[in-house]
Amino acid sequence: MGSSGSESAAGPSPSSSSVSRVNLPPSLEARRIPGLPRAAYYIANFITEEEEQAILHKVETAPKARWRQLTHRRLQTWPSDLIKDTLVDARPLPDWLEKPVVARLLSIPVDDTEHSNDESQPRHIFAESPHGRPNHVLINEYPPNTGIMPHKDGLAYYPVVCTVSLGASLCLNLYRSKDDGALDPNPVWRVLQEPRSLLITTGELYTDYLHGIDPIAIDVDLSPDTVANWSLLGDSSAFESGINERKVRISLTYRDVLKVSKLGSKLGPMFKRP
């Protein structure tokens, strides 16, 4: 089988059959989503149920001022919003966003074959980004019937997006721009994101394609032919009926903001969010 590096959860009863485990691949390449432009990776069970619950608890108990309410959706930014594409609050991410996600993410080489005869360490997905790691997390909450309009993520970030999903599953749509720049309204691909999964998109998918989430109550017509990452799902049997009934899904989007203000670390607490 193509997987190794399993760790068991630090759960209280390891003998219980319901203990959730992470299942890390030897490389991202082993979890590359087939048929998509280079490159996108999907890792099911990237975090355990215990870790998922701990992060959800932190999201839910964050100070009220952390939430920004949009028309249909609310979000948090850590350590802060961007101002003119710049991260002005350069505090490190809090521990609960850092561990286990960032440490685990940086432990996985992009490709473990390339460096096998070489002294150098195999390189992770942020090895060439300005800060060598994600420095920003956007937390989005999607109750049923909410989504996000097709968009590109723009020039503020290094073109690698790592999304951890919590709570429930939904489909991310990928769209092509037409030659005249207009959006082709029919998605070219769909990626089904299960709770506790990690989705990484890079390259052309960042620069040339748009992504969005339909504001619907049920994802329909799910099958190996219509879901690009079907073969990589943790539990495809849950979608055998072809539908996914939406529940509240929280996503953590990890990125490296290119510009960080030197002033930021000197700002007094009154300029910072709690």
- What single letter denotes the amino acid at residue 128? E
**Single-letter amino acid, residue 253:** T
What Å distances lie between residue 234 and 192, 230, 231, CA to CA?
Answer: 11, 9, 9
- If binding is defined by CB under 6 A, does position 32 make contact with ligand AKG? no
* Amino acid, res. 270: M
With CB under 6 A as the contact rule, the residue among 54, 153, 156, 188 that binds ligand AKG is 153
**Can you tell me which of 143, 153, 188, 261 binds Fe ion, judged by CB under 5 A?**
153
Which residue is nearest to ligand AKG, using beta carbons?
Answer: 251
Q: Both tokens of residue 162?
A: 């790592």
Full DSSP string of 189-237? EEEEE-TT-EEEEEHHHHHTEEEEE---SEE---STTT-TTGGG-S-GG
Residue closer to Fe ion (CB basis): 30 or 210: 210
Closest residue to bound Fe ion by CB: 153
Judged by CB under 6 A, the residue of 105, 148, 228, 260 near ligand AKG is: 148
Q: How far is the CB of 158 from ligand AKG (least distance, A)?
A: 14
With b for 16 or more beta-carbon neighbours within 10 A and e for fewer, the 76-99 pattern comes to: bbbbbebeeeebbbbeebeebbee
Quick one: what does residue 197 bind among ligand AKG, Fe ion, none, with the CB cut-off 5 to 8 Å set by partner type? none
Least distance to ligand AKG, CB of residue 26, Å = 26
Q: What does the H/E/C string look like for 98-114?
A: HCCHHHHHHCCCCCCCC
Interface with ligand AKG, residue 211, by CB under 6 A? yes
Q: Does 81 bind Fe ion (CB under 5 A)?
A: no
- Among Fe ion, ligand AKG, none, residue 140 binds (CB under 5-8 Å by kind): ligand AKG
Binding mask 246-265 for ligand AKG (x = CB under 6 A): -----x-x------------
Confirm or reject binding of residue 28 to ligand AKG (CB under 6 A).
no
| Residue 165: how many other CB atoms lie within 10 Å | 24
Residues of this chain that interact with Fe ion (CB under 5 A) are: 153
Residues of this chain that interact with ligand AKG (CB under 6 A) are: 138, 140, 148, 153, 163, 172, 211, 251, 253
